[in-house]
Amino acid sequence: MTAHRETTGIVALDELGRRLDAVVERPRLRVRRPRRWAALALGLLALVATPAIAAVVFEGPERVEDKLPEVAAAIDRSDPVATGRALEELGFRVQWTLITDNPNRGRDGETPTRWRAVDAPPTGTRILSVSSRDGDFKVDPDTRNLQIEISPAGSEILRSHEE
């Protein structure tokens, strides 16, 4: 815990920060990756285990592409138009969000980026991220509504993601 905090200049926000600092998280059901000595046993177990068991034992991947391999195969980050076409052919519905650098970023209340929904990816954009329609990266295999964030090639936000 931090012994000293800087302040936000707003009393309620500082208090909220202290309450967040004081949170003691309840332990979550999480099985760590196996140690080497256990790997063999788990490997044998995997021979008879179902994919559902494997999903419980190991921490699942976080990206949509990892959960939905067909999405991973369809994504070409440098070509959002082709990606959208391929995903639609697979039965996905795609909502496009254009993310651009905010020239006023750094000022109070100014986001690092601007965003707006677009009907189709503009020319010269690349794919920034793929998520569910709510912007959540945790999806289930039945997910069919996707949100794809795109950004102009050369933008700061794209560079920071592709580094």
Partner 1 sequence: MRPQQHALATRDGFSEAYTQHARSILIFLARRTCDPETALDLTAETFAQAFESRRRFRGNTDEDAAAWFFGIARNVLSRYVRRGTAERRALTRLGIEVPSLEPEDLARVVELAGLDDLRGAVARELGALTDEHREALQLRVVEQLEYDDIARRLAITEPAARARVSRGLRTIGRALDPTTTTIQERLT
What residues between 130 and 159 interact with partner 1 by CB under 8 A?
A: 134-137, 156-157
Distance CA 114, CA 103 (A): 9
Residue of the chain from 10, 29, 31, 52 that contacts partner 1 (CB under 8 A) = 10
* Residues between 77 and 106 with contacts to partner 1, criterion CB under 8 A: 105
Torsion of CA 101, 61, 139, 126, to 10 degrees: 30
Q: Does 114 bind partner 1 (CB under 8 A)?
A: yes
Residue 47 CB, shortest distance to partner 1, in Å, is 30
Q: Name which of 21 and 76 has its Cβ closer to partner 1.
A: 21
d(CA 135, CA 5): 31
Residues β-bridged to residue 115: 99
Residues 146 and 132: beta-carbon distance below 8 Å: yes
Amino acid at 35: R
What is the helix (H) or strand (E) element at residue 61, kind and residue range? none
Which of 43, 60, 112, 124 binds partner 1 (CB under 8 A)? It is 112
Binding site for partner 1 (CB under 8 A): 1-2, 5-13, 15-17, 19-21, 23, 25, 62, 105, 108-117, 134-137, 156-157, 160, 163
